[in-house]
Structure 1
Amino acid sequence: MKRHSVDRILVGRTITLDGTGRIAQAVAVQDDRIVAVGSEADILDLKGAETRVFRTDGTIIPGFNDAHAHMDTEGLRDRFPSLGHVRSIADVLARIAELARATPPGEWVVTMPVGDAPFYFGGPIVLQERRMPTRAELDRAAPDHPVCILPPSGYWSLVPCYTALNSRALKLNGLDCSSTSPVEGVELERDAAGELTGIIVEHNYPDSAQIALLPAVPRFSARDRREGIVRSVRTYHAMGTTSVYEGHGCAPEVISAYRDLQQARELTMRMHLVVSPTWTTLDDAQLMMRDWLSYARGAGLGDAMLRIGGIFVSYGGEPTAAAAAMANPADLGWSCYVKQANTPAEFERLCMLAAEHDLRIHTIAIDKLHEILPIFERVHAAHGIASRRWIVEHMSYAAMGDLARLKALGIGVTLIPDYHVWKVGTRFFPLSETERALVAPAAQLDSLGVPVACGTDNSPCNPLATMRAMRTRRERTTGEVLGGNGRTSAELALRAMTQNGAWFSFEEHVKGRIAPGYFADFAVLSGCPLTTPGDALDSLSCLATMVGGRFVHGGET
């Protein structure tokens, strides 16, 4: 680098995460890389006539790397109108009538769920009547339109989730008193006479009712998904996120949307997408792995902005929901992935095939690590996977001995602390204090040397909320601490949401540190995440975000 040749200089408290605990005063950027980090005086000595200087009273950190994001979902929530702050059936009906007046007769009126965004906790419990509106009530509000009040996804709300339809909507979907649900966990509510009320209750976390029962309800188009990703990227950048790892898998429709944005040079988020496969039999899987998924082998195929690598394979799952999803894999609902269901024997066979073809497995563990580990150990004995970076996703609870077994297999883990500790922590209250500390066990995994990164799961998409859950471990309804010995240090919470995710995409040598040679990906926060108390972390804001040396939020656009 020539003297006085840098493009940008950022001046402010800089947490480098370079392994030494160093706090710098400034950082210099040339093109998309960091070229120097140090004191303000030393870095300003590199300033040339064209160098742009950004000064902040905030704190500069490596950009957040959301290791389990479901990012595309965020932008889809703007596709349909909100019901607003409704508190009674009358409020809901007034909003439906208002939307019907603005919609040509015969066309669909489709809305976001009942409840308060972004979580929609409780759904109809927020209404005075503590129930959803019936078909008859919706008929009065919109007699000339089919109406559908959508359910939330159980992952960003809580089950059960509720859909409400009027009579026109039921008829267009072929639903009558003789109809039954083909999916376990989805019920068609009936009145005392056995007639459909228009209310559908979903007990599955991935939404299945629309896919299985409502083919006539408008779907997200390819354009909706593409535009939704654009909105999502903007929202995630505003949180300081510069990289996303989609380990739960992405369906072909979603991968295509990201590809289109990348080809149009409109993608500003660094993305690693894992393939959500559409096979229906083990024979299909073997064929696809051998002939069609070569691009996803090893570290995958792509560039610094968009890479596709690895496959998601479900352990368990609800078979009837998976069958409904596989009947039309393009019909995803709120999901970005195709739902699967595999028995333990099927899962093991798919893992063996993946190992044969050098395809990295990603699977959701929840509390089933003790069942998955013996399968992985048999695969490792047959094929040697310790250097391949297989991933266990969304792990809730596991025994300490099982966590230790991950190290020998070279397996990394993604956790969702805000979900398992803050949102649904009451599930784990029956556990002992020692066992509670092993819910979302970032501290324990890190101490064992097991690669661990955390994600937001888009519920909400704020990395600082995830870090708050890691450091405080407070459950939302009681304020009770869920296993105090599981609290992480401030430094680990920050690493788990920034630096650690780079290992999962084979980018630990270019991403996650503020050091020469690394990508110039930064978040500028209003305060210091290392000194701010855990309970106050999500009160911080992101002042600016930079990806590859260019501001994508705040700063100098």
Structure 2
Amino acid sequence: MTATLFVADAVHGHVGARGVVVRENRITAVVGDRELRRVGTTVGEVIELGGHVYPGFTDAHSHPSLGAGLQRGVDLSDVDDLAALRSVLSDAVREIPPGEWLLGWGLSYGLWDDDQPTSAVLRGLGRPVALQLFDCHALLLDEEAVRVAGVERMPAFGSGAHAVRDERGAFTGLVVEEEAMDHVRLAIPPEHPASRTDRLGRVLAAMAASGLTGLHVMDALGDSAEQYDELERTGRLPLRLKLHRWYTPALAAAGVDPVDPPPGRGRLWHHHGVKLFLDGTVDNGTAWLSSPDLRGESTGSTWGDPVEYARVVQRLAAAGVPTATHAIGDAAILWAADTIARAHAAHPAVRHRIEHLEVTSPAAVAAVGRSGAVASVQPTHCTRFVAADGSDNWSRRLGDRRSHGWRLRSLAASGTVLALGSDFPIAPFEPLGILADAVSRRCTARGGEAVSPLEALGADEAVLAYTVGAALAAGVEHDEGTIAPGRLADLSVFDGDLSAATPEQLLTRRAVATVVDGEFRRS
């Protein structure tokens, strides 16, 4: 098969280089300006990229299938008070056919000030209503949805999942954590599979157009693998995907083996590892903190006995299966770090990672640094959902501990490898905006005061976390993360240098093109 020469203004990591030669799906050479003419006569095709070529940008934590599914409903992420919420929902209910549920996503806890969300604002809409809170760890239901979903008959879960009751014992409408939300979802009429797959294809196409070449997918649930397979079969899969299937206490109790992967893989997607949850979120009071939050909540693990979680990680490590552990609170992070340190000591070839690391005390920073775990962090969680003045729900719950949030600089200084991502659909997936916020520690697009600015990264460090860091997180650094002969031909092309850019400059850059598995796509 003939080779292709991609010509750019600059090649990241190679001073003076302007060309990358690709044969099939591998890089065979990186060439300088003087060699371009000679090499151009030996290849089958020359493609002028322009811009700066980087190793393929990989979002290290994303939920594309979940995100595509949520977009079936109303986007509530810009709603900033209860009156506006009522207005948006009243308009939306007139647009949906009779008998359908009114669905929404991106709802902020902050609309209720110091109180937990309640369903009072949802009364009288004439439909069952189910709104996803922005963190995707809670649903808000109206009275009709509570009735139709049989919330009164919901079984007890050992993972902290439950329907919230007020001081009189009445349901507030808030349902938290996965098993409880799944109970409700069973009552929502399903969407046609073809419609869901088409929407997923559009989401992935938009991700590729933003400069991404790969995703670490953290929701290999239901028929999502079949959706990816269908998209690849029909030429609509533009990204390299590593799927992580969930393993929960409920699956453990049911005797499900965590080791055996589901069947199936494609050229660009495969089942890669296992995702586990040690806790929930600070915002809904289900994180695992070393001491309770200021409402007396966030006191325990998703696992009734976290020792069982440690046993599962050891079993997976022994089988050569990498793990990704959701750990938000400092107690959860400490437990994950200790577990991973033990697993790494016994099976050093297997890569393990901790996701989110929102409340990272000094002890937790040090423990993660010693553990060998990769820290998979989402900078825009800090800049989009937390206020510098501490007025947001997350900060009000934590008090002084809010200074321990998203400690990128401290984690890097401890020797921890960082991988960055979006957690889409919780936050937008565009990598340039995430890079900008990692450097500025504020929502760069909106301005405002920085949150814990001493924890900022340099632009070069943020780029490294999107490339080399993501490859290390997946244990594929010999194939991905750098531009070198023998590496997979995954490239992201932007219209200027990112590594020395200011946050404001990063927002003005744009993706020019991507190359995924040797295939060129113009953004």
TM above 0.5: yes
Partner of 1:398: 360
* Secondary structure, aligned partner of 1:137: coil
Partner of 1:227: 198
1:94-133 correspondence runs (5 A): 94-97=91-94, 99-100=95-96, 103=97, 105=98, 107-113=99-105, 119-121=106-108
Which of 432, 442, 445 is equivalent to 1:464?
A: 432
Which of 324, 329, 334 is equivalent to 1:370?
A: 334
Q: Structure 2: which 5+ residue stretches go unaligned?
A: 285-300
The aligned amino acid for 2:17 is A
The aligned amino acid for 1:186 is A
Partner of 1:313: 276
Q: Given the alignment of the two structures, is residue 253 of structure 1 paired with residue 204 of structure 2, yes or no?
A: no
Q: Note the C-alpha offset of 1:42.
A: 1.8
* 2:460–2:500 CA contact under 8 A, matched in 1: no
Residue by residue over 1:359-380, the C-alpha shift from the partner in whole angstroms, topping out at 9 and shown as x without a partner, is 3332112223223333444555
1:60-459 correspondence runs (5 A): 60-80=53-73, 87=84, 89=86, 92-97=89-94, 99-100=95-96, 103=97, 105=98, 107-113=99-105, 119-121=106-108, 137-139=124-126, 147-155=127-135, 162-164=140-142, 172-173=148-149, 186-187=163-164, 200-202=173-175, 204=176, 206=177, 210-213=181-184, 215-220=186-191, 222-246=193-217, 248-262=218-232, 266-277=236-247, 280=250, 282=252, 284-285=254-255, 288-289=257-258, 293-295=259-261, 305-316=268-279, 341-366=303-328, 367=330, 368-379=332-343, 384-400=346-362, 402-406=364-368, 409-424=371-386, 426=390, 427=394, 430-431=399-400, 436=403, 439-458=405-424, 459=427
* 1:65–1:242 CA contact under 8 A, matched in 2: yes
The aligned amino acid for 1:71 is P
* Secondary structure, aligned partner of 1:307: strand
* 2:63–2:423 CA contact under 8 A, matched in 1: yes
* 1:388–1:410 CA contact under 8 A, matched in 2: no
The aligned amino acid for 2:140 is Y
* 1:111–1:150 CA contact under 8 A, matched in 2: yes
1:497-516 correspondence runs (5 A): 497-516=466-485
Paired with 1:340 and 1:309, the residues of 2 have a C-alpha distance of 23
The aligned amino acid for 1:543 is V
* Secondary structure, aligned partner of 1:28: strand
Quickly say closer, same or farther: Cα 1:269–1:505, change in 2 above 3 A.
same
Normalising by structure 1, report the TM-score. Answer: 0.73
Paired with 2:474 and 2:342, the residues of 1 have a C-alpha distance of 25
Quickly say closer, same or farther: Cα 1:485–1:301, change in 2 above 3 A.
farther
Paired with 2:350 and 2:55, the residues of 1 have a C-alpha distance of 26
* Secondary structure, aligned partner of 2:21: strand
The aligned amino acid for 2:373 is I
Partner of 1:59: 52
Paired with 2:441 and 2:122, the residues of 1 have a C-alpha distance of 42
Paired with 2:63 and 2:509, the residues of 1 have a C-alpha distance of 23
Q: Note the C-alpha offset of 1:96.
A: 1.9
Residue by residue over 1:515-553, the C-alpha shift from the partner in whole angstroms, topping out at 9 and shown as x without a partner, is 222222222223321232124423432222221222334
The aligned amino acid for 1:370 is L
Which of 1, 11, 15 is equivalent to 2:12?
A: 15
Paired with 1:552 and 1:153, the residues of 2 have a C-alpha distance of 35
Structure of higher CA gyration radius: 1
Question: What count of residue pairs does the alignment treat as equivalent?
Answer: 482
Q: Note the C-alpha offset of 1:307.
A: 2.4
Q: Given the alignment of the two structures, is residue 36 of structure 1 paired with residue 29 of structure 2, yes or no?
A: yes
Quickly say closer, same or farther: Cα 1:179–1:548, change in 2 above 3 A.
closer
Q: Note the C-alpha offset of 1:252.
A: 4.3
* 1:316–1:342 CA contact under 8 A, matched in 2: no
Paired with 2:204 and 2:443, the residues of 1 have a C-alpha distance of 29
Paired with 1:466 and 1:482, the residues of 2 have a C-alpha distance of 15
* Secondary structure, aligned partner of 2:442: coil
Paired with 1:35 and 1:214, the residues of 2 have a C-alpha distance of 49
* 1:73–1:232 CA contact under 8 A, matched in 2: no
Q: Note the C-alpha offset of 1:209.
A: 6.0
Quote the sequence identity (%): 19
* 1:154–1:207 CA contact under 8 A, matched in 2: no
Paired with 1:303 and 1:88, the residues of 2 have a C-alpha distance of 42
Quickly say closer, same or farther: Cα 1:229–1:170, change in 2 above 3 A.
same
Residue by residue over 1:116-163, the C-alpha shift from the partner in whole angstroms, topping out at 9 and shown as x without a partner, is xxx44468679xxx9978666323xxxxxxx2443134326xx87634
Paired with 1:224 and 1:340, the residues of 2 have a C-alpha distance of 33
The aligned amino acid for 1:269 is L
Moved more, 503-512 or 70-79: 70-79
The aligned amino acid for 2:245 is V
* 2:20–2:31 CA contact under 8 A, matched in 1: yes
The aligned amino acid for 1:541 is R
Moved more, 533-542 or 498-507: 533-542
Quickly say closer, same or farther: Cα 1:503–1:372, change in 2 above 3 A.
closer
Residue by residue over 1:399-431, the C-alpha shift from the partner in whole angstroms, topping out at 9 and shown as x without a partner, is 445444445543222111211354236446854
Which of 457, 464, 473 is equivalent to 1:495?
A: 464
Partner of 1:329: none
Quickly say closer, same or farther: Cα 1:41–1:73, change in 2 above 3 A.
farther
Paired with 2:400 and 2:85, the residues of 1 have a C-alpha distance of 38
Partner of 2:39: 46
Residue by residue over 1:174-196, the C-alpha shift from the partner in whole angstroms, topping out at 9 and shown as x without a partner, is 57xx7889676634799x9x999
* Secondary structure, aligned partner of 1:414: strand
Q: Note the C-alpha offset of 1:481.
A: 2.8
Paired with 2:499 and 2:90, the residues of 1 have a C-alpha distance of 48
The aligned amino acid for 1:54 is E
Paired with 1:82 and 1:419, the residues of 2 have a C-alpha distance of 18
Partner of 1:483: 452
Q: Note the C-alpha offset of 1:245.
A: 1.2
